[in-house]
Each structure stands twice: as C-alpha cells, then as structure tokens.
C-alpha cells in the first residue's frame, strides 16, 4: 500500500466544490433560510417524540447520547480495521489504520478552519435545546446519565465529521457486502446528538459533510499522506518486531 494516494484532479476539485457550496448555502442570503426551515422542521418532528413515545425510545437515545457511549463507534471502527477482509487484508490492516489516523489529523485541521470561518463571520449558534424554550431535554428526563443534549456552539457536528470521513475512507478502498453495515453504523451514531437536540440538522449535513469532503479531498486525492504514512508504518513495524 505504498504511495496509494495520488493527485486526482477531477475528484479533488469536485469534492471541494461540493464542500464550498454546502458551506456557502448555509452562510449567505436566501439559501440560509431553507436550511433554517429544515433545521426547525426536523427538530419539531423529532424532539416531541422523546415525550410522546417515551420509554424505550427516549432511553435508547439517552444512552447513545452519553459521553461514554462515544467509545462504541470508536471500537466498532477499530473492529472494521482489525477484521480480516472487511476493509483490508491481513497484511494491509495496520497501514490502513495508520492512513485513517493521519486522515483524522487532516480532518481536525479542516474542522478548525471551518470553526474559524464561522467565528469570523459571526455565524455561531447554540443547539436547539438552548434556543427553543419548549424543547424536551433528555438530560432532564435522565439526570443521572451524564449525557450531552446541548451545546453553546453546535456547528459543525464533530461526530458526523468523523463518521462521514470514515465512510469516505472505507469507500475509497472497498465496496463489498460490508458496505451497507458501515453505512448503518454511520447513520446510527450520527443520529443521537440530533435526536437529543444537541445539534441542528445543518450542523450534520453542512458542517459534518463539508468537513469530511474537504479532508477526503486533500487526504485521499493528493499525495499529502504518502510520506507520513510510510514513516509511521516503518516506526510501528519496528516497535512490533521488538
């Protein structure tokens, strides 16, 4: 898997254009009101269900909104890298994991740039549970869970950015019978913060997706990660041999 990332102009440009269009549509003019309408519609459609359905429904989303529950997708992602033939064959699993870790660094850098852009243009906003007075808050229903259902600055959706980046990374290498399961994991673990009201829909659809697309463009469709991946792979192999 040496030098697997190369500059692919058309894909690189396409991913960045989609990312810029998403952020621009959320930032400016008449298109922002459509995102605001979608945000409020999704919230009004989902948040009351926490009370109306109650029971198992609200408990399920409360459990997945707990901070410790963030470890669940982490271990699932590790399993997908570890399992033979799911994404990588045995000989490529370590270098594949290293590549994703490096892509995660790129994603964090992109996320910080987006956060700076939002701060600079005064586009910050709190989560719906902090702005809408009648919002149902899971933390009030389950006060002992230590869950997160609010944020003073909800854009972009960090969990969504990580999961969408992982999805793009997996699709870059393989599309097989496990692909629907990878997609299922992404959707399942993007949903808790949305259902709990910690994020607006656009935090996920604009913030998460645009961050992931830009990170994937620079990480997978340029040679940016080839050299650091080779260096880390050599270091890791030496440590494991010892």
- On whether residue 162 sits in a domain, the answer given is yes
Crossing angle of helices 9-27/209-220, nearest 10°? 160
220 pLDDT higher than 80: yes
- On whether residue 2 sits in a domain, the answer given is no
Return d(Cα 106, Cα 140) in angstroms, integer.
Answer: 37
pLDDT of residue 6: 85
Residue at token pair 């992602």: 77
- On whether residue 85 sits in a domain, the answer given is yes
- On whether residue 213 sits in a domain, the answer given is yes
Total domains present in the chain: 1
How many CB atoms sit inside 10 A of residue 127's CB? Answer: 24
Q: How confident is the model at residue 1 (pLDDT cuts 50, 70, 90)?
A: low
Output the pTM of the full model: 0.92
**Inter-CA distances, 18 with 15, 146, 178, Å:** 5, 37, 26
* Highest-pLDDT range among 9-23, 58-72, 171-185: 9-23
204 pLDDT higher than 70: yes
- On whether residue 69 sits in a domain, the answer given is yes
2 pLDDT higher than 60: no
31 pLDDT higher than 60: yes
- On whether residue 102 sits in a domain, the answer given is yes
- On whether residue 3 sits in a domain, the answer given is no
Structural domain containing residue 126 = 9-241
The 10s digit of each residue's pLDDT in 48-69 is 999 888 789 999 999 999 888 9
- On whether residue 211 sits in a domain, the answer given is yes
């Amino acid at each position: 898997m040496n030098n697997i990332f190369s500059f692919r102009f058309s894909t690189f440009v396409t991913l960045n254009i989609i990312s810029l269009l998403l952020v621009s549509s959320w930032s400016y003019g008449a298109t922002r009101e459509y995102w605001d309408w979608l945000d409020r519609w999704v919230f009004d459609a989902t948040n009351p269900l926490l009370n109306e359905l109650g029971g198992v429904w609200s408990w399920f989303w409360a459990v997945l909104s707990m901070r410790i529950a963030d470890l669940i997708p982490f271990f699932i992602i590790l399993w997908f890298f570890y399992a033979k033939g799911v994404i990588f064959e045995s000989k490529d699993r370590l270098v594949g994991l290293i590549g994703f870790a490096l892509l995660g660094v790129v994603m964090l850098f992109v996320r910080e740039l987006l956060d700076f852009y939002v701060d600079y243009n005064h586009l910050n906003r709190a989560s719906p549970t902090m702005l809408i007075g009648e919002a149902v808050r899971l933390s009030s229903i389950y006060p002992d869970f230590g869950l997160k259902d609010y944020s003073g600055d909800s854009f972009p959706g960090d969990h969504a950015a990580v999961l969408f980046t992982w999805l793009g990374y997996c699709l870059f290498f393989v599309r097989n019978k496990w692909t629907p399961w990878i997609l299922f994991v992404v959707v399942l673990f993007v949903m808790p913060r949305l259902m709990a009201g910690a994020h607006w829909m656009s935090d996920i659809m604009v913030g998460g997706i645009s961050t992931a697309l830009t990170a994937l463009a620079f990480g997978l469709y340029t040679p940016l990660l080839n050299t650091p991946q080779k260096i880390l792979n050599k270091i890791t192999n030496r440590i494991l041999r010892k």
